[in-house]
Structure 1
Amino acid sequence: TGLDMYWLKQGDTSGTAGFGWLVLGFLLTVLVIILTPRVILMVYLGKQVL
């Protein structure tokens, strides 16, 4: 879309911003990978208790 092209152009003009988004995305992915099993476990154990 046009918005994607806009963001890509912004990333080209400022490499640091693009790198920042990359790091942010990586950290979010790591958080999801770490937290998802715990949430599933909590729900599973919660259902067992009920």
Structure 2
Amino acid sequence: MKMVSEGKLSGRQRRKNTSLQGKIFKLWEAYESGELSVNGLLRKCSGIYGPNA
């Protein structure tokens, strides 16, 4: 788990997954720094993973 939090993921990833993961990491950093509440983090994550209309 430590490697994930440090951004040291290995293996192949599709571009879309890499892009999504980057967005999630940025949101997590904002949450950890106090810029986002838990509710805000979850809302923004749901927007990333939610259905695309």
TM range (shorter): 0.3 to 0.5
- TM-score (structure 2 length as normaliser): 0.43
Q: Which protein has the larger Cα radius of gyration, Structure 1 or Structure 2?
A: 1
- TM-score (structure 1 length as normaliser): 0.45
